[in-house]
Structure 1
């Protein structure tokens, strides 16, 4: 909901009595407890932004350099100087399990068919080049197509395939701080590649292996393909890997003003990252953050949080495990004295993704995993049991990445459903049909990055769309929330709009300052939310927010410092929702 406070609903007489005693002792005005849901949702958004920074997602696209050949132009004006051969059939020889059938298929039927055509030697050579191009475009860069001695006048044309196989995958140049197996190869080579010696060499598999290496920020890898030194059979090649591993630990720190005033607006964090802790191209990080201020200098209002993450790539799969915790404490004014209202929440998630398709410009993954969430609130040291939450569930979906005209596009479509696993509790809202923790939720997001040049200057467009559609009314923790620097800028995040269904569109255009790592940007954001229950929907202050922002960001190399400063402006919002004409913010980051 949008209000800063909300009445707490009770389900059992004993809970009513217990809560009534607590509220009577505290003397809360109007018998209302603070609504901490905006705090929880804002913390989730901050955690997601932090995880995106810490979990690298490299993309490697290698140029296969296919032969440049024009489309086939069959010889229709045969003369004695251009003898041709009537072609009745075309087939591939030495085609293991028909894996290269795709390369010839376009020329057996349709507009490009050569069947029934009269082809001269140039036409036949062009056909060979086109089939070769198709094979290379699929990544089989060491596979060759040739024409052996045959009687073409028979009308039966046979193209010979010389398949390109991997003879060995071995290290070429290595840094001296690696853990090696008995054969002298680095231990992390074993799980980097989804291919083995003796298999067909495909550059797409090499791309995947290089991406696995590069998931570790302090590591880098390159490769070369050379004729096999041990196998004399044509078509066998050695895959030579150059691999370097820098310092395996990294420290980063940051400060920003992304917190809430009631629990500390200024937030500081420090992160320790361990690269290759198990020597399998894995990454481990732990981050801790704490508020630097409180609601006032006279009270001990603050918040702290931590994040723990681990990622492990195995061939074409990626395992990701994250856990985070959040704790806040704020002072609430009572009728006769002030009391401390506090709470904590913990979220754990495990996800597994698997690459199911890859070509020269796109990748497709299937994903699945499970999650659990816990939340508790306290008045002084006494828990408000009616506000205790523990939910769990599973999620699954598909992710797609592609490059179109220089634009990098990442998209994801997920389905999430709550369950009773991990001793999940039935939330109070479910007892009043006001929200379920076991409802199905469809979530989607699309991320677009497109560099372009205008008036001699370099620009970059970034667009982000997020959407959520619920099958029924949700508990507050699962609702779609907008308002603040992580969603719709121009609003301070102290108040938000949230609903069971929602959509968000963020757009930025950044102008780079010359060849430097600094840029100026302007952005416009818009968000919409709606409740599934019509009565609850009418209680919302509004359904949409529109905001804008201008700012500067960049990297100061001598200081190893990143910065982002901005000013946001509310553009369109419900009446009395935006209480500031300008919302400024900043973030500073340091890496070692």
Structure 2
């Protein structure tokens, strides 16, 4: 067998393990002693292991980019002033008679609303406590109207757009000011699907089935615009669906504060197909990659999204494959349930390549599987921000082969959990998204203890702190009649490990997904790392095309100094210039593209031998 002919050229732990399988006279104890006596050989002289690590890190970056592209993240902001304009402040007349106010409270028009009065205590708090308190002061009619206006505005800002505050007839000489609050109740929720291009499944109540999991509100609730924003985001999460709403007077209850919600809901189709081509692969396993994607929109009629994608290197098509290829398939599913979001993904990746030995070439191949399950909960929402609590679990496995014989010691399986939170906030048209998480490996799902842990060179069962921040700033420049749209985007990410990590969990930099200007054939990776990507884009007139320039910088380091000293370097800086856009040559066909070239600004000596690193991607959806 060819395996024995070249194993002696790689004096690593993997070679020892395979040879042990062939030579029974070597006992497990002797093999174990040999392993413990040669940790640096394992760490430094295994080129096959480095090949596997590079492939896994590249695939993880591609998986993250694909998931971001295929799973929409709709953002809905409703201007409450357009739904219910706030009250206008009155001019204060200091010569008008006033009344000393010692107490301020609420009352309602009916006893049914009394149970909900406490919800609006927040609007009174500034008038009874703190620097703006008015208790003990003498208030005139204009000042009372101003107080009512302030209370009303606070209620509307909190999202209660149909709730009203008025002042009824009362005797203010008692020192008590009573405000009448009229909660804005939802009498009914109605749907208009007349403009939908496909038949919408309905429930027994006559509403679209999608409403049952999309709407965090129901008839009888107090209307809050924030709940409507969440509902619309859930309905719009399916790319082929759209939704809008209007608030109309109740058709059955003429009492003040009662309204109906009319939601216009449409869906154009139930599925989408996409094909694409790019040059994001590795030279050793096929640089040019083709992919096909099938997306099912709303397959269970609950605003869910399912996708299946398959990619294959184009280099090996129509050839004998020459032991150089890569395949990947990925599955994803997203289900929004009111204030919750379930997200599940699975990917499978295989590759093989020819590696030159001392006397003959051999085939080194591998396969990996990654499964993630996540659940997020919308914990807080206001007019400018949202906060989510996130939790999830993951399982990753990896197998490598030499001429179809598995290298047992390179087998990996890790599992663990993640927990954290994310916060999105808007500043006018600017948006900032931040995310913080903690990842911990465990022994779940028969996870394998990696050999690196024997030498304290890497473990999967330690804590990893991760953080991400994304800032988007659109702006316009130029003469008033010919303004040009610009956009600045910055993405900052980093991780810190409590202990040395196995290679698959390290942070890698260098390539189109991290630091542009490098082709990704070589990367720097470390237990700790930070990455900053920046883009400045300029729209080409009113077309959906834009030119952009980017500058990226990354830094990585190892937890232990002995490993850190072995790194070729710690920092990469690169720049890129490109053109991207989309167009529809015919109806129901959308094309998008991105073409760029990058230049390395700063790199360790001997890291790369290219002055420019270019790339492209072309995608069609129909």
TM-score under structure 2 length normalisation: 0.89
For residue 154 of structure 1, report the CA deviation from its aligned partner: 2.4
Instruction: Tell me the matched-pair count.
Output: 575
Residue 213 of structure 1 aligns to a residue in which SS?
Answer: helix
Deviation digits for residues 236-264 of structure 1, max 9, x if unmatched? 21111110011110001110101000000
Matching of residue 432 in structure 1 with residue 455 in structure 2: yes
Moved more, 323-332 or 88-97: 88-97
Matching of residue 287 in structure 1 with residue 302 in structure 2: no
For residue 110 of structure 1, report the CA deviation from its aligned partner: 2.9
Aligned match of 2:48: 33
Aligned match of 2:396: 373
Compared with structure 1, are the counterparts of its residues 318 and 208 closer, same or farther at alpha carbon in structure 2 (3 Å cutoff)? same
Matching of residue 90 in structure 1 with residue 104 in structure 2: yes
Matching of residue 103 in structure 1 with residue 123 in structure 2: yes
For residue 70 of structure 1, report the CA deviation from its aligned partner: 6.8
Question: Is this contact kept in 2: 1:291–1:304, CA < 8 A?
Answer: yes
Alpha-carbon distance in structure 2 between the residues aligned to 1:562 and 1:462? 19
Question: Is this contact kept in 1: 2:86–2:156, CA < 8 A?
Answer: no
Residue 255 of structure 2 aligns to a residue in which SS?
Answer: coil
Alpha-carbon distance in structure 2 between the residues aligned to 1:576 and 1:468? 26
**In structure 1, which of residues 445, 448, 451 is the aligned counterpart of residue 474 of structure 2?**
451
Deviation digits for residues 191-227 of structure 1, max 9, x if unmatched? 1111121111101000000000000000000111111
Structure 1 residue runs of 4 or more that deviate by more than 6 Å after TM superposition: 70-74, 295-298
Deviation digits for residues 410-457 of structure 1, max 9, x if unmatched? 110000000000110111111111101101000110111110112231
Residue 197 of structure 1 aligns to a residue in which SS?
Answer: coil
Aligned match of 1:485: 512
Compared with structure 1, are the counterparts of its residues 292 and 436 closer, same or farther at alpha carbon in structure 2 (3 Å cutoff)? same
Q: How does 1:189-200 map to 2 (within 5 A)?
A: 189-200=211-222
Alpha-carbon distance in structure 2 between the residues aligned to 1:13 and 1:330? 22
Question: Is this contact kept in 2: 1:264–1:292, CA < 8 A?
Answer: yes
Aligned match of 1:155: 175
Aligned match of 2:31: none
Matching of residue 549 in structure 1 with residue 565 in structure 2: no
**In structure 1, which of residues 88, 113, 124 is the aligned counterpart of residue 144 of structure 2?**
124
Moved more, 556-565 or 202-211: 556-565
Residue 458 of structure 2 aligns to a residue in which SS?
Answer: coil
Compared with structure 1, are the counterparts of its residues 356 and 261 closer, same or farther at alpha carbon in structure 2 (3 Å cutoff)? same
Matching of residue 567 in structure 1 with residue 567 in structure 2: no
Alpha-carbon distance in structure 2 between the residues aligned to 1:523 and 1:20? 56
For residue 120 of structure 1, report the CA deviation from its aligned partner: 1.8
Compared with structure 1, are the counterparts of its residues 510 and 53 closer, same or farther at alpha carbon in structure 2 (3 Å cutoff)? same
Matching of residue 409 in structure 1 with residue 425 in structure 2: no
Deviation digits for residues 531-574 of structure 1, max 9, x if unmatched? 00110000000001000000111112226211111110000010
Structure in which a larger fraction of residues adopt helix: 2
Deviation digits for residues 516-538 of structure 1, max 9, x if unmatched? 10111001000000000110000
Aligned match of 1:245: 267
Q: How does 1:268-307 map to 2 (within 5 A)?
A: 268-293=290-315, 299-307=322-330
For residue 13 of structure 1, report the CA deviation from its aligned partner: 6.7
Aligned match of 1:134: 154
Q: How does 1:292-331 map to 2 (within 5 A)?
A: 292-293=314-315, 299-331=322-354
Compared with structure 1, are the counterparts of its residues 19 and 369 closer, same or farther at alpha carbon in structure 2 (3 Å cutoff)? farther
Aligned match of 1:17: 20
Alpha-carbon distance in structure 2 between the residues aligned to 1:220 and 1:20? 66
Moved more, 525-534 or 181-190: 181-190
Aligned match of 2:73: 57
Aligned match of 1:514: 541
Residue 472 of structure 1 aligns to a residue in which SS?
Answer: coil
Alpha-carbon distance in structure 2 between the residues aligned to 1:54 and 1:188? 20
Q: How does 1:247-266 map to 2 (within 5 A)?
A: 247-266=269-288
Compared with structure 1, are the counterparts of its residues 86 and 342 closer, same or farther at alpha carbon in structure 2 (3 Å cutoff)? same
Alpha-carbon distance in structure 1 between the residues aligned to 2:91 and 2:329? 65
What runs of 5+ residues in structure 2 fail to find an aligned partner? 1-8, 25-44, 109-113
Question: Is this contact kept in 2: 1:392–1:419, CA < 8 A?
Answer: yes
Aligned match of 1:340: 363
RMSD (Å), alpha carbons: 2.1
Q: How does 1:348-427 map to 2 (within 5 A)?
A: 348-427=371-450
Residue 452 of structure 2 aligns to a residue in which SS?
Answer: helix
Question: Is this contact kept in 2: 1:417–1:439, CA < 8 A?
Answer: yes
Alpha-carbon distance in structure 1 between the residues aligned to 2:394 and 2:19? 31
Compared with structure 1, are the counterparts of its residues 154 and 34 closer, same or farther at alpha carbon in structure 2 (3 Å cutoff)? closer
Aligned match of 1:26: none
Alpha-carbon distance in structure 2 between the residues aligned to 1:14 and 1:199? 66
**In structure 2, which of residues 227, 237, 240 is the aligned counterpart of residue 215 of structure 1?**
237
For residue 112 of structure 1, report the CA deviation from its aligned partner: 2.0
Question: Is this contact kept in 2: 1:263–1:294, CA < 8 A?
Answer: no
Alpha-carbon distance in structure 1 between the residues aligned to 2:461 and 2:23? 29
Alpha-carbon distance in structure 2 between the residues aligned to 1:355 and 1:241? 22
TM-score under structure 1 length normalisation: 0.93
Alpha-carbon distance in structure 2 between the residues aligned to 1:334 and 1:117? 91
Alpha-carbon distance in structure 1 between the residues aligned to 2:557 and 2:436? 20
Aligned match of 2:34: none
For residue 275 of structure 1, report the CA deviation from its aligned partner: 0.4
Compared with structure 1, are the counterparts of its residues 71 and 471 closer, same or farther at alpha carbon in structure 2 (3 Å cutoff)? farther
Alpha-carbon distance in structure 1 between the residues aligned to 2:11 and 2:141? 85
Question: Is this contact kept in 2: 1:67–1:129, CA < 8 A?
Answer: no
Deviation digits for residues 129-154 of structure 1, max 9, x if unmatched? 11111101000011000111111232
Residue 100 of structure 1 aligns to a residue in which SS?
Answer: helix
Question: Is this contact kept in 2: 1:74–1:118, CA < 8 A?
Answer: no
Alpha-carbon distance in structure 2 between the residues aligned to 1:147 and 1:33? 79
Question: Is this contact kept in 1: 2:417–2:439, CA < 8 A?
Answer: yes
Alpha-carbon distance in structure 2 between the residues aligned to 1:298 and 1:170? 58
Question: Is this contact kept in 2: 1:310–1:320, CA < 8 A?
Answer: yes
Matching of residue 527 in structure 1 with residue 554 in structure 2: yes
Compared with structure 1, are the counterparts of its residues 447 and 31 closer, same or farther at alpha carbon in structure 2 (3 Å cutoff)? closer
